[in-house]
Chain A
Amino acid sequence: MSIPNLLHNMCADLSDADLNAIRKARGFSPSETASRTSFASYFVSSIGLAEAMQNLSAEEVITLHLLHQTGEVDIAFFERLYRSAAQSGKHYYGTYTQQYKPTFDTVKKNLVRRGLVIMAEVKLSGDAVQLERWRFALPPEFVSYLSPFLPTITSDEPSEISDHTVRKKLLQLIGGSALPNDRTSIQLKDGTIWLDDQPFSTTRLQEWQKRAWWSSLNTLKPAIPASLSPTEAVISLLASLAPHEWVRPESLDPALKIYCYGSKFLPAEKILHRGWELGLFSRLKVDSVHLYRLAPELTPTDSISPLSASVSWMESIPKTDSVKIDLRLIPPHHLELLNVLTHLTVDAVRNTLQATPSTIKLGRATPQQRNSPLSLWLAEHVPAFGKVLADVNEKWGKTILHENLFIARVRDLNLRVQLERGLGGNLIVLSEHFIAFPSESRSGIEKVLKKTGFVAKIVKPS
């Protein structure tokens, strides 16, 4: 059920006592709670929200952040916050109701009757008891009022980023040794770098970094619904930081206890250090303590600024129409672009990666990629590349193969007019007798044909 539907159901079914409690907690006037229908609108407004939020404990704030990320949950979700009748780590032999009744009462008292969380009953098939049928959610309108729960330190000092592991991975292309316990392949095939059987890109590289990080921590995926793995939790928590904000590792621990409820994990310091080694985080040393935040994006925002004449990681090789790439230095987003624009090979003698112009690859690239600073640099410094780029720019967009369309020959003018009227913008007149339309419009075409008494002759490729 969607959150607006849950809210609607809650407002319709709320007891007068609960309604009065919410009215008091949020400071609604009697006229605002008079109509159940209009109360739903007042409930998600900002009235009294800041005041009601003030009384929340740090754990409650963290839980509500996780609730927002998760969406709709059942009462078991709040066990991480208010516990239940079951003892931690031991099997509970009571019923669902016996286990979660204390949790339910606390949630209702601390969150629902304070007007912060929506609670409504949903229909479930089978023999679900009433407590199993309750669903809880945080209105998205409330999120901006939740106080930040991570103690941060602001600093503009230059930070430390480790790209050692990433470089080691890239150097495998030219014969470098493989990383221990790393099963993801990186290889050069038909002039293209493939990472995990997909064309190399910064997104895929980040995915590999996260996977390698997770496997290095030796943790299991959480078995409890809505709980995150430590890696997912850390990324989610650090993503909420503003620019130049840093966190101490130990300040993540309370949040991790709630986010990763039900699973065992290493101390935040160790988790962050492993992530930093894999290039996922930036590190800053203040008073002999390391602070962390997410590493800058692999595709920086200034990637559109022109490259200087001399680039440390790329060197043109005279008389060969190619450039030599230094995998120890090349920024990953430039390598991604080179992978899209050029034909890549390994010079076995010199143990280097080389890029030569490729008409096919340039033809497949988008205009933005073809006119990127890297492409322009190549055109300027490698004459063969400049020639191919000029040729592609000249021809690009002049030969287009349209697929997944229906083409029809319409000989009857009246029918064509009817079709144009019937389909509007979903029809293109190609010539006096031919039209094109998307596949979903076929039913519309058939309707017009039926109405006008025509029949479609179907031609398929033999």
Chain B
Amino acid sequence: MELQNLDPKKLRIFSCERDILRDLFTYLGYVREHSVKRMTRTNEMPRADSVRIAKLMGDAELVKAAQETGGTQWIDFIDELALRLKLVSYDTKGEYRGYTSSGPSFIENYITVNRTNFQKFLTLSPAAQEKQILDTLIHAKSLQEYGDGSNNEFYETSVLGELDTFYQWGAATGLMPTLKFPAIRQFLLDVLKNCPPGQWFSVESLIANLKASQPYFLIPQNTPKADKWGHAIARYGNFYEGKDSWVHNEKPIPDAAPDGFERVEGRYVERFLEGIPLTMRFVDVAYNPASYKGLLPMHGMLKAFRVNERFPRLMSGKESQPRLTVQPNFDVVIESDFYPAKIIQQITALGEQVSSPNSGHSAYVGIFQLKKTLVAAEQIRQPKLDVIALLEKLSGRELPPNVKVELEEWSGHADQFTLYEGFALLESVDEVPESDKYTVEHIAPTLRLVRAGEKLFSTLEANTCVPLRIQHPTGGFAPLAESTVSLFPKKSVEEKAHGKPKQVKVSRSVAVTVKFPDDESFDSIRKTLAEMRCPFQSDIKTRVISFDQQYQAKFDEAVQQLQDLFIIETD
């Protein structure tokens, strides 16, 4: 197929900035950690969750859209994709709550992650994950009952698309239900596969080529003569054109129209390009920047497309492994043709992301920095984890020596502080064999860390050990009686501390207060002091001015300045 090149300089270029795989994992990560209940009436994601997911996806525009409208098309698309991939599940049918309900309600409709499917999906290679997404989108069926007829590019605008759709009237009748869209999409993807990447091609030439070589790729040559109700089927009977989408004065496109292929199949090709290929960043598209003036739905506005490198890379079937490099400055650089979720999950447990990942059309590049606390925390979470061995295995080479030494030390940090929560401390001068089976650690000859404190206390009481049970307050240690033998503070120490006078340090300053006999001199000196930016306080009623002694010089200066008006003498 020979396509015409087109210079997109005068066109408006659009490319998808989102990485579908990365956003899918961001969404899954969020719904795994949070209990997300969908809205009862609309079954949409709640606004708060949408905003949080948008923030995690790191797109300011998404966040703004989620905050303003309560959700975004992109997050809804990812949400639906996760459901189609069977990675999550939630109710999509709902129930009618009463005879007067105008729609179904979705009560307590929580999003749950299907852990088995998720783990299975996670273990796939990034390319295989992308392929599974592609396959799912190609074969996507409507989630609405009776919506199959209109669940295609003719009637639904793509999540990133801007071209309008055909009038839906009669979509479940005529030729439409007989069309095999998965095969059509696959065919067009195969056509794109043969386009050299990086070059802009004219969409018009693609349509013309298809008309010449594959005129029946969408609608078979021999269409059924009648539908299941016995009504005659016209080849283009489902497709209407009109001047105004509000008035619905559309007319069907005649089968015999010489430009019928361009008007029906051509419009489909345009809408297909801004569907799966654009969403999955297989292509970039370029639109005519001028406003549309022809018959609706729009035709000829999508002028050009360009196939990106990642598309032939994915379709070639060659699996390339993500590349990981550990640098001497503790940076871990991950490069991959597709978003390497599993490796990222492993590395984010050990380090922090320091660069925003590349979301363009080229390979994924992410830089992480290994962090001492994270390595130690992961070591605590997985005591058998060998961080050095893991990084060497992922990178396929030995780690820089300094990194190795530090990692060994950091892993050692995991065991430096162990907090025992919910245990009790048994302090006993004598041997207490009764406590042996409750002992977790022998801290010192007289101290044991014990569990089941209440049970142990009863046992000790029953064995006439005369135990003392101390419930320490949350903010300090309970003072013990004088006659106790203990490391803990006694009452006398507390009393001494309380009996001692509390030390209070005060700062001393001397203020000078000057009282003026009349309003005139008082106002003048106030204004002069204010001009000189001298801090002072004044009381209009008593005509008193007070200032700190350190500003005496400034006050004297003010008096000096007013000597032509007043001779101020201090008593």
**Contact A453/B425 with A363-B467, A407-B420, A426-B476 known, Cβ cut-off 8 Å:** no
Q: Which of A363, A366, A455 has the most CB of B within 10 A?
A: A455
A406 CB contacts on chain B under 8 angstroms: 419-421
Partner among B465, B471, B475 whose Cβ is within 8 Å of the Cβ of A403: B471
The answer to whether A409 and B417 touch across the interface, beta carbons within 8 angstroms, is yes
The answer to whether B488 and A407 touch across the interface, beta carbons within 8 angstroms, is no
The answer to whether A459 and B419 touch across the interface, beta carbons within 8 angstroms, is yes
Q: Mark B416-451, 1 if CB is under 8 A from A, else 0.
A: 111111111111111010000000010110010111
The answer to whether A431 and B447 touch across the interface, beta carbons within 8 angstroms, is yes
B18 at the binding interface (Cβ < 8 Å): no
Instruction: Count residues on chain A whose CB falls below 8 Å from chain B CBs.
Output: 51
A400 CB contacts on chain B under 8 angstroms: 426-428, 467-470, 480, 484, 486, 488
The answer to whether B468 and A457 touch across the interface, beta carbons within 8 angstroms, is no
Q: How far is the CB of B456 from chain A (nearest CB, A)?
A: 7
The 6 A-B pairs at the shortest CB distance, nearest first, are namely: A397-B484, A363-B466, A395-B466, A455-B376, A402-B425, A398-B429
Q: Which of A382-414 contact B (CB under 8 A)?
A: 391-392, 395-412
Partner among B373, B377, B414, B428 whose Cβ is within 8 Å of the Cβ of A398: B428
B488 CB contacts on chain A under 8 angstroms: 400, 402, 428
A407 CB contacts on chain B under 8 angstroms: 419-420, 423, 425, 443, 449
The answer to whether A455 and B414 touch across the interface, beta carbons within 8 angstroms, is yes
B481 CB contacts on chain A under 8 angstroms: 366-367, 397
A461 CB contacts on chain B under 8 angstroms: 422-423, 451-452
Q: Which of B337-381 contact A (CB under 8 A)?
A: 372-373, 376-377, 380
A415 and B432 CA atoms in complex are apart in Å by: 32
Q: Which of B468, B469, B481 has the most CB of A within 10 A?
A: B468
A402 and B426 CA atoms in complex are apart in Å by: 6
The answer to whether A454 and B373 touch across the interface, beta carbons within 8 angstroms, is yes
B542 at the binding interface (Cβ < 8 Å): yes
The answer to whether B419 and A457 touch across the interface, beta carbons within 8 angstroms, is yes
The answer to whether A399 and B441 touch across the interface, beta carbons within 8 angstroms, is no
**Contact A399/B486 with A440-B475, A457-B418 known, Cβ cut-off 8 Å:** no
B453 at the binding interface (Cβ < 8 Å): yes
Q: Mark A430-441, 1 if CB is under 8 A from B, else 0.
A: 110010101110
A438 CB contacts on chain B under 8 angstroms: 472-477
A223 at the binding interface (Cβ < 8 Å): no
**Contact A403/B441 with A409-B417, A454-B413 known, Cβ cut-off 8 Å:** no
The answer to whether B541 and A401 touch across the interface, beta carbons within 8 angstroms, is no
A458 at the binding interface (Cβ < 8 Å): yes
B467 CB contacts on chain A under 8 angstroms: 363, 399-401
The answer to whether A399 and B427 touch across the interface, beta carbons within 8 angstroms, is yes
A183 at the binding interface (Cβ < 8 Å): no
B134 at the binding interface (Cβ < 8 Å): no
| CB-defined A-B contacts under 8 Å, sample of 5 | A401-B450, A434-B447, A438-B473, A459-B420, A460-B422
Q: Mark B448-463, 1 if CB is under 8 A from A, else 0.
A: 0111110011001110
Partner among A426, A430, A455 whose Cβ is within 8 Å of the Cβ of B444: A430
A431 CB contacts on chain B under 8 angstroms: 443-444, 447
Nearest neighbor of B467 in chain A, beta-carbon distance? A399
The answer to whether B460 and A399 touch across the interface, beta carbons within 8 angstroms, is yes
Instruction: Count residues on chain B whose CB falls below 8 Å from chain A CBs.
Output: 63
Partner among B372, B417, B484 whose Cβ is within 8 Å of the Cβ of A412: B417
**Contact A404/B447 with A367-B483, A399-B468, A461-B452 known, Cβ cut-off 8 Å:** no
Q: How far is the CB of B270 from chain A (nearest CB, A)?
A: 56
Partner among B429, B470, B476 whose Cβ is within 8 Å of the Cβ of A401: B470
B485 at the binding interface (Cβ < 8 Å): yes
The answer to whether A456 and B418 touch across the interface, beta carbons within 8 angstroms, is yes
B565 at the binding interface (Cβ < 8 Å): no
B428 CB contacts on chain A under 8 angstroms: 398-400
A359 at the binding interface (Cβ < 8 Å): yes
The answer to whether A403 and B469 touch across the interface, beta carbons within 8 angstroms, is yes
Q: How far is the CB of A429 from chain B (nearest CB, A)?
A: 8
**Contact A359/B373 with A401-B424, A403-B472, A438-B477 known, Cβ cut-off 8 Å:** no
B464 CB contacts on chain A under 8 angstroms: 359, 391, 395
The answer to whether B474 and A439 touch across the interface, beta carbons within 8 angstroms, is yes
Nearest neighbor of A411 in chain B, beta-carbon distance? B416
B257 at the binding interface (Cβ < 8 Å): no
Q: Mark A363-376, 1 if CB is under 8 A from B, else 0.
A: 10011000000000
B450 CB contacts on chain A under 8 angstroms: 401
A401 CB contacts on chain B under 8 angstroms: 424-427, 450, 453, 456-457, 460, 467-470
A147 at the binding interface (Cβ < 8 Å): no
Nearest neighbor of B410 in chain A, beta-carbon distance? A453
Q: How far is the CB of A407 from chain B (nearest CB, A)?
A: 4
The answer to whether A34 and B429 touch across the interface, beta carbons within 8 angstroms, is no
A434 CB contacts on chain B under 8 angstroms: 441, 443-444, 447, 449
B419 CB contacts on chain A under 8 angstroms: 406-408, 445, 456-459
The answer to whether B416 and A405 touch across the interface, beta carbons within 8 angstroms, is no
The answer to whether B423 and A457 touch across the interface, beta carbons within 8 angstroms, is no
A145 and B475 CA atoms in complex are apart in Å by: 40
A165 CB contacts on chain B under 8 angstroms: none
A449 at the binding interface (Cβ < 8 Å): yes
A407 and B487 CA atoms in complex are apart in Å by: 14
A461 and B416 CA atoms in complex are apart in Å by: 20
B520 at the binding interface (Cβ < 8 Å): no
A391 CB contacts on chain B under 8 angstroms: 464, 466
A360 at the binding interface (Cβ < 8 Å): yes
Nearest neighbor of A359 in chain B, beta-carbon distance? B464
Q: How far is the CB of A174 from chain B (nearest CB, A)?
A: 28
A35 at the binding interface (Cβ < 8 Å): yes
Nearest neighbor of B453 in chain A, beta-carbon distance? A403
Q: Mark A285-319, 1 if CB is under 8 A from B, else 0.
A: 00000000000000000000000000000000000
**Contact A397/B468 with A428-B488, A438-B474, A438-B475 known, Cβ cut-off 8 Å:** yes
A328 at the binding interface (Cβ < 8 Å): no
* Extra inter-chain contacts (20) besides given A407-B420, A407-B449, A456-B419, CB under 8 Å: A34-B542, A397-B468, A399-B427, A400-B427, A400-B467, A401-B467, A404-B472, A404-B474, A405-B425, A407-B419, A407-B423, A434-B443, A436-B425, A438-B474, A438-B476, A440-B475, A445-B419, A457-B380, A458-B421, A459-B421
B564 at the binding interface (Cβ < 8 Å): no
**Contact A454/B443 with A396-B483, A397-B468, A428-B487 known, Cβ cut-off 8 Å:** no
A450 at the binding interface (Cβ < 8 Å): yes
A65 and B568 CA atoms in complex are apart in Å by: 54
Q: How far is the CB of A417 from chain B (nearest CB, A)?
A: 13
A366 CB contacts on chain B under 8 angstroms: 481
Q: How far is the CB of B338 from chain A (nearest CB, A)?
A: 33
B7 at the binding interface (Cβ < 8 Å): no
B461 CB contacts on chain A under 8 angstroms: 359-360, 363
B475 CB contacts on chain A under 8 angstroms: 438, 440
The answer to whether B416 and A412 touch across the interface, beta carbons within 8 angstroms, is yes
B571 at the binding interface (Cβ < 8 Å): no
B539 at the binding interface (Cβ < 8 Å): yes
B451 CB contacts on chain A under 8 angstroms: 461
Q: How far is the CB of B237 from chain A (nearest CB, A)?
A: 66
B415 at the binding interface (Cβ < 8 Å): yes
Q: Which of B414, B418, B480 has the most CB of A within 10 A?
A: B418
Nearest neighbor of B481 in chain A, beta-carbon distance? A367
Nearest neighbor of B425 in chain A, beta-carbon distance? A402
The answer to whether B483 and A409 touch across the interface, beta carbons within 8 angstroms, is no
Q: Which of A8-57 contact B (CB under 8 A)?
A: 34-35
Q: How far is the CB of B566 from chain A (nearest CB, A)?
A: 24
Nearest neighbor of A445 in chain B, beta-carbon distance? B419
Q: How far is the CB of B432 from chain A (nearest CB, A)?
A: 6
Q: Mark B391-421, 1 if CB is under 8 A from A, else 0.
A: 0000000000000000000000111111111
**Contact A395/B425 with A410-B417, A455-B377 known, Cβ cut-off 8 Å:** no
The answer to whether A404 and B418 touch across the interface, beta carbons within 8 angstroms, is no
A405 CB contacts on chain B under 8 angstroms: 424-425, 472
Q: Which of A61-91 contact B (CB under 8 A)?
A: none
